Structure 1
C-alpha cells in the first residue's frame, strides 16, 4: 500500500511539473528591439532639429518675425509758433486718423452659404426661386459709421471692398469723441491711429504770414514752410517683439531716435497785429479796393511788429481756401511806389553834394518838357526849398534833382536802401522788386524814376527803406523772429543827412501837407504819400495804388510803417485819404502799446494840430 501511494505521489508531482510554466528573467530580442526604436527616434529628432536649425533656419525665423515683430512709432508733435510775448499763433493738438483693413472686413463680414440660402425670396410671377443676399454695409453699424464720418454709404462700401487692400484712410484729423463713438460700434477692420492736428487760434489775422500745413503736418505755405524742418522734428521708430495680445515683450532695435520739434517765437506783437488787420480790412472794404497790405518795423532792430494782408482766409476751415487769399502780399506783390521814393532822391542829392539843404529850386510854371514829354505838378508852386518839394510832392522839383544826379548815383542810393534786393526775411515767396540797371537812360526815364515810376517794390522793402531814415542812416537786418541778440547794422548814409530828410518829411503831416490824416495825437510824425497809376498793356490806366510810408515819433524814431491799398475804387483814391488814416490809427496803437513817451511839442506844433 505504501509503495502504491508513493508511486501515485510521484505521478501527481510529474503532472504538476508539466503544468507549471517556466519564465526567463532576460529576453535578448526584446532588448534589441526597444533599443533600436529609441535610437531611431533619437536620430530622427536630431535630424529634424538639424534640418530646422540649419536648412530652414531663415525661413522659420522670418515666419516667426512676421507674427511677432512690429515697428512702433513715437510721435513728435510739430512745434508751436508764438508772438513776441508768448501768445500762441499756431499749435499742434492730438488728433486721430480712421483707417480700414479691407481684407479683415471681407473676412469678418462675408456671408456663408447657409446665410445666403436663408435670404431667398419666391418670385410669384414665374414661380422661380430668386436668391438675394443682403449687403453687409447696409447694417446699422455701417450706416452709423458713414454718418459720423460724413461719408456716402455707397462710397464707403466701395472703399472697404477693395480686393487686395490692407490699409485705406477713411478720414483724418478727427477728434477723440468721434473715435470713441466708432470704437463702440465694434466694427472689425476699422481702427484709428494717433496723429497731430494744426490749429491756428488767431484765424485769418495771421494766415498769410503763418501759412498752413497739410494732413501729414508738413508746412506748405508761409512760415510753416520756410521753417518746416525746425518745426517738424522727427518721429521716433523702434522695432519691438509683441505677444499674441499685442503686449511688448522685448525691445529689439531703435530705428530712428525721436527728435523734439523746435518752437518759434516771432517778432510780431499780436495786439498790434490784430488792430492793424482790422483797420486794413475796413479800409479795403470802405474804399472798394481789391487788396491791401501793411508792415510795421522797429527801426533800431529790424524786427517786424506787424505784417497783415487783406483778403485773407481762415486756415482752420480749408473750405475757404483759395490761392489768391493765401498770398503774403506784403512780400510777394510788387507795385510802383510813386512819390514815396522822393525822400531817397533828396538823400542821394545831399549825399553826392548835388544840392544843399537850404537850396531854393524854381518849379515855375508848374510843368516842364523833358525829352519831348511833359512833367507837371498839380499847380504852380514857384520857388520852393527841398522840404517844400516833399511837403507839396513836387514832380518838377524832384525831377531837376534827379537830372543833376544822373542814373548811376540815383540807382546806387536806391540799391543801398534795399530796392531790387531781398530783405533777408527768409520767407518763401518774397519778391525782390525791380530796380532797372542799364547803360542808357533817357532824361524822361530818369525823371519819372525820381517820382516812383519804372521801378517796383514791395510793402516790406519800402518799410525797410524808411526804417533806415528813422535809424539815422543805419540798415539793420530785417527779421520776423524775435531778436534776443540784436546785431549791428550797416551805415548807408550819414546820420546828419538822414535826420535832415526825416525833419523835412514831418511837414507832410502838418498844415499844407498832403497827409494831414496821418497825424497821431501826441506824437510827431514824418511820412510821405504816394498815389501811382497802375501800368497795363497800353501804358498807364485809371487804376491806382495808394501808399503812405511814415516814421514816428520824429524826436526819437521807433517805428516805420507802410500802408498800401491796391486799386481803391471809391470816391477817394489819393493816399492821403485812403492809406493815411490807417497809418494814424495803427501807429498810435503801436506807440502806446510799446510805451513810447509822447513828444514834448512846442507851441507852434500844438497850434497847428488844433487848426
Structure 2
C-alpha cells in the first residue's frame, strides 16, 4: 500500500514538474514576444529605425519624359519628328523554358539563336533582367501581334519544389528557445500548373525620324544616343526642342486625411516646342538634286547652295556630300558640315557687280554703252590680254575682265570700298546658327595696301566671306539697293529694317548689265533658262591649301544670280569645291578647264528651271 501511494505521489510530482516547465516556457515566450513588440520600434536598421526605413521604402521618385518638338518647313511639312516604336525587353531570369520555342516563333528568329542569347545573358551577373531582343519595331510590325497572342497562351509548367516536413508545436517552442537543435528535413516534390509566359515586356520607345533623308541633314542636324541634339538645328535649339522632363516625389504622409502619398512636383512636365523653318521643301529638293548631280558629274570635293526670297527668308540651304540621319550605322562628321555657313572663302568675280555699283553710285562711271574703259595699260600685277583695248562696263562684267574691273576700282577710295562692303554684310555675323557660323573677314581699310584694294574689287584680298553672306549681298537687286536681314526660323524676332546701300536707279542699271552676263556672249551663258530673264555673275577662285593659294588647279567655282531680272523672286548662290571634270557646251564629251561658267552656272540653271516650272506666279511676271 505504501508503495502504491509512493508511486502515485511520484507520478503526480513528475506531472507537476512538467506543468511547471511548460508554464515557464510559455511565460518566457510571452516575455520574449512582449520584448520584441516593444523593441521593434527602436531597432536600428542601417542607422534608422524600422519605422523610418519602412516610410523611406514607401517613397518613390517618378519622371515622365518630355516629347521632343518637331521641326517643320514653311508650309508645315515635317522635317524631323518622333516616330513611336516598340521594343521587346526580356527578363532572362523569368522566362520559362517550355515557352522558348513559341517565343522564338513569335520573334521570328531561330530557336537555337534565342536559347544562345538567353544563356549568354544568364551567365552575366549584372543586367540579366533586361535583354532588348527586338527594337525599333513599327506599330504595324507582325512581331507585335505575335507577342500579344503568345501572352494569352497557357502551358503546363512543372517545377521541383522542396517541401519541408511539419513539426509539432512543442518542438517549435523548444527549437525557438534553443532547448532543441533545429534539424529540418524536407523532400522534393513536382508541382505542375498552367501558366502564361513571364518576363516578356512590350515597351514604347521613340526614334527621331527625318522624312527628307540626306537632303536636309547638314541643316537639320541629328541627335545622339541620349536623344540630345548635337548638330544643326537639333543642336542649336536643343533647349527649345527637348522641353523638360517631369520630376515628382511621392512620400508617405501620416498626417494626410485619406491620402496615403503626398506628391511633390520638383519639375513640371514641359513638352518640347515645334520649330518652323522658312525652308521650302520643294525648293530644297530641286537645289539638292542639282548640287548632288554636279558634285558627282564634275568629281568635285563638295558642293553647296542657298536660295533666298527678296525679303531675306531662306528657302533652301543645301550641302553635299550628306548622310541619311535615319541610318544610325552611317555617320561621317564631314557629311554634316553646313558649308554654307561654316566655311569662309574668297568669292572671286561674284563681287565685281558691287565694284561697279559703288563706282556708278559715286559717279565715277556712267555705265552707258558709249563709255569706254582703257584696258591697254598694266595695273599692278595685272597685264593687258591684248584681246581688248577699250571695254564698256557691260563688256567687263560680261567677260569677267579683271583688268577692266581694277581700272574702275582705281577711281574709288579705300574708305568707300570698306564702308560699302561692310554695309553689304561682309565680315559680319548673320546670327542664323551662331554655333557653327563663320562670319568671315573684312580687314579695316587702314591696313590695306594698293594690291589689297585692287584684289578686293574682284573677290580676293582683305575680305573673305561665307556663301550665305554672298547671297545676302545680292538681295540689293531685289530691294532697290537695300539689304534685309536673313531669316531661317519663323517666330523668332529679326531686324526688319533694311540697310540702304545703293540707290534704286544705280541698282536697276547694273542689274540690266548682269542680264547680259547670262547670254550666249557672257560668262554665265550656261545659266540661261528658256522663257525667263536671268541675271547673275560667275566666279572662279583659287583654293587656299596649307596657307597658300594653290596653283595646280584646286579651285572653287561660283555662280550667284537672280530671276526674273525685274522684280526678282529667287536669289541663288552656288559653290563647287575643286571640280575636276568639266565639258564644253557644244562638245559635251570634250574636257575643258573647270570654271564657274561650265560648272556652278549649270547647277543654277538645273535647280532654278525646275523651281520656276512649278511656280506659276513667276511665269506671269516673266511675260510682263
- The equivalent of 1:501 in structure 2 is 510
User: Cα–Cα, structure 1 residues 297 and 49, in superposed 2: closer, same or farther, change >3 Å?
Assistant: farther
Q: Which of 594, 606, 620 is matched with 1:585 structurally?
A: 606
Residue 256 of structure 1: CA displacement? Answer: 1.8
> 1:226 aligned to 218, 236, 248, which one?
236
Aligned to 1:296: 307
1:423 to 410, 426, 430: 430
Match of 1:28 in 2: none
My pick for the range that moved more, 391-400 or 175-184, is: 175-184
Is the 8 Å Cα contact of residues 470 and 502 (structure 1) preserved in structure 2? Answer: no
Are residues 442 and 189 of structure 1, via their aligned partners in 2, closer, same or farther at CA, if it must alter by over 3 Å?
same
Does 1:543 pair with 2:551?
Answer: no
Q: 1:384 aligns with which of 363, 369, 391?
A: 391
Match runs of 1:235-274 below 5 Å? 235-240=245-250, 250=261, 252-274=263-285
- Residue 330 (structure 1) shift: 1.5
Equivalent-residue separation in structure 1 for 2:68 and 2:272 (angstroms): 6
Deviates most, 347-356 or 484-493: 484-493
Shift of 1:53: 8.1
**Number of paired residues?**
527
Aligned to 1:472: 480
Distance 1:190 1:556, change over 3 A: same
Cα distance between partner residues in 2 of 1:325 and 1:249: 55
Per-residue deviation at 1:589?
3.5
With over 3 angstroms needed to count, the CA separation of the structure-2 counterparts of 1:350 and 1:91, relative to structure 1, is same
Is contact 1:508-1:514 (8 Å) kept? yes
Contact 1:360 1:383 in 2 (8 A): no
CA deviation profile, 1:295-346 (whole Å, cap 9, x unmatched): 100112x111111111111111122221111111211223221100101112
Q: Normalization by structure 1: what TM-score?
A: 0.75
Task: Provide closer, same or farther for how the CA distance between residues 96 and 553 of structure 1 changes in structure 2, counting only shifts above 3 A.
Answer: same
**CA–CA separation in structure 2 for the residues paired with 1:533 and 1:566:** 10
2:157 equivalent in structure 1: none
Secondary structure, aligned partner of 2:60: strand
Give the greater-gyration-radius structure (CA): 1
Larger displacement relative to structure 2 (449-458 or 48-57): 48-57
Cα contact 1:376–1:395 (8 A) shared by 2:
no
* SS of alignment partner, residue 324 of structure 2: coil
Aligned-partner Cα distance in 2 for 1:219–1:555: 42
For the pair 1:441 / 2:435, whether they are aligned, the reply is no
State the distance in 2 between where 1:382 and 1:193 align: 79
Alignment equivalent of 1:407, drawn from 414, 417, 423:
414
The alignment yields a C-alpha RMSD, in angstroms, of 4.0
* Residues 73 and 501 (structure 1), Cα distance of their counterparts in 2 relative to 1, 3 Å cut: same
Kept in 1: contact 2:104–2:111 (CA 8 A): no
Q: Which has the higher helix share?
A: 1
Could you report, residue by residue, the CA deviation over 1:378-420 in whole angstroms, capped at 9, with x for unpaired residues?
A: x633222322221121111111222222433222211211211
Structure 1 residue corresponding to 2:527, chosen from 513, 518, 521: 518
Residue 92 of structure 1 pairs with residue 82 of structure 2 = yes
1:215 aligned partner: 225
- Alpha-carbon offset, residue 504 of structure 1: 2.0
1:562 paired residue among 547, 557, 573: 573
Structure 2 distance, partners of 1:539, 1:172, is 54
* Correspondence for 2:136: 174
For residue 529 of structure 1, the aligned residue among 532, 538, 545 is 538
Counterpart for residue 364 of structure 1: 375
User: Shift of the alpha carbon at 1:471?
Assistant: 1.4
Tell me what 2:21 maps to.
Answer: none
Q: 2:295 aligns with which of 272, 284, 301?
A: 284
Instruction: Please give the per-residue CA displacement for 1:529-548, whole angstroms capped at 9, x wherever unaligned.
Output: 10222233453331221110
Q: Secondary structure of the equivalent of 1:74? A: coil
Contact 2:564 2:622 in 1 (8 A): no
Change (3 A) 1:585 1:66: same
Q: Within 2, Cα distance between the matches of 1:376 and 1:598?
A: 45
SS in 2 for 1:206: helix
Cα distance, 1:93–1:160 mapped onto 2, change above 3 Å: farther
Q: Distance in 1 between matches of 2:329 and 2:353?
A: 45
Question: Deviation of residue 67 (structure 1)?
Answer: 4.5
Offset, 1:265: 1.4
For structure 1, which segment, 402-411 or 140-149, has the greater mean C-alpha deviation from structure 2 after superposition? 140-149
Asked if the contact 2:286–2:611 (Cα under 8 Å) also holds between the matched residues in 1, the reply is no
CA distance in 2, matches of 1:441, 1:172: 65
Query: Aligned partners of 1:41, 1:154: CA distance in 2, in Å?
Result: 56
Alpha-carbon spacing, 1:333–1:569, altered in 2? closer, same or farther (3 Å): same
Q: Give the deviation of 1:513 after TM superposition.
A: 1.2
Alignment counterpart, residue 354 of structure 1, candidates 360, 364, 385: 364
Distance change in 2, residues 1:561/1:169 (3 Å): farther
CA contact (8 A) 1:196 1:217 kept: no
The C-alpha deviation readout for 1:441-463, integer Å capped at 9, x for no partner, is 33233222211123322221111
**Cα distance, 1:64–1:151 mapped onto 2, change above 3 Å:** farther
1:52 aligned residue: 41
What is the CA distance between 1:212 and its match in structure 2? 0.8
Change (3 A) 1:153 1:355: farther
For the 8 Å contact 1:506–1:524, the answer to whether it is kept is: yes
Deviation at 1:201, TM superposition (A): 0.9
| 1:424–1:479 CA contact under 8 A, matched in 2 | no
Cα gap change, 1:53/1:191 in structure 2, threshold over 3 Å: closer, same or farther? farther
CA change 1:168–1:479 in 2 (3 A) is farther
Classify 1:165/1:249 alpha carbon distance in 2 versus 1 (closer, same or farther; 3 Å): farther
CA offsets 1:467-525 (integer angstroms, 9 cap, x no match) = 13321222212121236988332223322322222222111113421112212233221
The separation in 1 between residues aligned to 2:112 and 2:271, in whole angstroms, is: 34
